[in-house]
Amino acid sequence: MTNQNVVVPDAKQGIDITIAMALPKSLFSPAVPEPLPAAPGGYFTITRKRFPKMTETGAKTSSWVDSMRDSSPSRVKSTTSLSEPEDKNSWIVNHPSALNMFEQIVKGSKGKQIVMFLDYDGTLSPIVEDPDRAFMTNEMREAVKDVARYFPTAIVTGRCRNKVYSFVRLSELYYAGSHGMDIKGPSKNSCKYKKGGVLFQPASEFLPMIDEVYNVLLERTKSVPGAKVENNKFCVSVHFRCVEEKMWAILVEQVRSILNDYPKLRLTQGRKVLEIRPTIKWDKGKALEFLLESLGFANSTDVLPVYIGDDQTDEDAFKVLRNRGQGLGILVSKVPKETNASYSLQEPKEVKDFLRRLVEWKRSSLQGQCRV
């Protein structure tokens, strides 16, 4: 305990009130949600009415900025004295390369139908400064196209479904945009699996609200250089990839202040992006389960879902697979991160290599069956 003189400005009267009181040192940590309670021995409680914004709002903004500062999912913070290389090696033991473990992976798929789920940004395409230019390479497109010939394949993304389709341009895939709130399958003519024309939009009632928030955000964020607002149909993305870090707190406050008027919307974070989404219980994990059910694999033990993604929002899908005890989550990351995925790949190029190996393995298996 230390004796401190705390100066509290009174905005209404234009004076400073100095209060002498005993405070624990922990009070001066970055974020303390509540003031100290009254207690015997000379403690004082400063009522929240004196400065409601300084504690609660300030702490929340600081927490958001800290989260934005980290890549997502959050980097693993070592609790030991391991060096960075040792820390990475320790992480790799628990999340080995899917390329190095490829033979074990395909061995575990014997007798099962593989179903592929792929994130887009950071997985099939690199993360770029301008999200409108996140193009996948022709080689990656060919790899995805080949995979879809042998396995049901879905793109699960936070992007607008139509936007990601304009990047991928493969009609034989399933597309789950807006974090799975806008799902559409290939036409029945181009799909050999059940319910090829599936269409599911669990948040349709939020469309007018999303459009309204998008327009407000466009105006409100003009004061933050580099901020880019994107309408992803059932969610709004505020990209801060090109925003200077000193402006992040201002940007967060602008977004959060708007949401005060929309209690049915919530703020989440992805990789270099803030996202406004409906409060319904729907995410990429729910989309994965819905697509498996649509394909006729809801309760099947003869299916192996494989989900590849790089973002915090992909963790919902990784968690579903882990809880099912069925399927593989593969995190795309060059650094150790907290994740529910079982395997890892470092970058989109390795994703492409993994997909190509999967196709080669399947072709070889089918050729072997033909010779028997």
pLDDT in tens, 336-355: 999 999 999 999 999 999 99
To the nearest whole number, what is the mean pLDDT of the chain? 81
* Residue whose tokens read 């697979």: 321
pLDDT > 80? residue 28: no
Work out the pLDDT band at 327, boundaries 50, 70, 90: very high
**Contact (Cβ atoms closer than 8 angstroms) between residue 327 and residue 305:** yes
* Alpha carbons 182 and 287: distance in angstroms, whole number: 9
Contacts from 134-138 at CB under 8 Å and sequence distance 24+? Answer: 134/167, 135/167, 136/167, 136/168, 136/348, 137/352
DSSP class of 81: S
pLDDT in tens, 138-151: 999 999 999 999 99
Q: How many C-beta atoms lie closer than 10 Å to residue 165's C-beta?
A: 17
Q: Are strands 199-200 and 228-231 parallel, antiparallel or unpaired?
A: unpaired
Q: Which of 22-36, 103-117, 357-371 has the lowest mean pLDDT?
A: 22-36
Q: Are strands 328-332 and 182-184 parallel, antiparallel or unpaired?
A: unpaired
pLDDT in tens, 120-174: 999 999 999 898 999 999 999 999 999 999 999 999 999 999 999 999 999 999 9
Helix (H/G/I), strand (E/B), else coil: 24: coil
pTM score, whole prediction:
0.76
Work out the pLDDT band at 90, boundaries 50, 70, 90: confident
H or E element, residue 307: strand 303-309
Helix (H/G/I), strand (E/B), else coil: 17: strand
Q: Residue 55: what pLDDT?
A: 44
Q: Which of 29-33, 152-156, 183-187 has the lowest mean pLDDT?
A: 29-33
pLDDT in tens, 267-287: 998 888 999 999 999 999 999
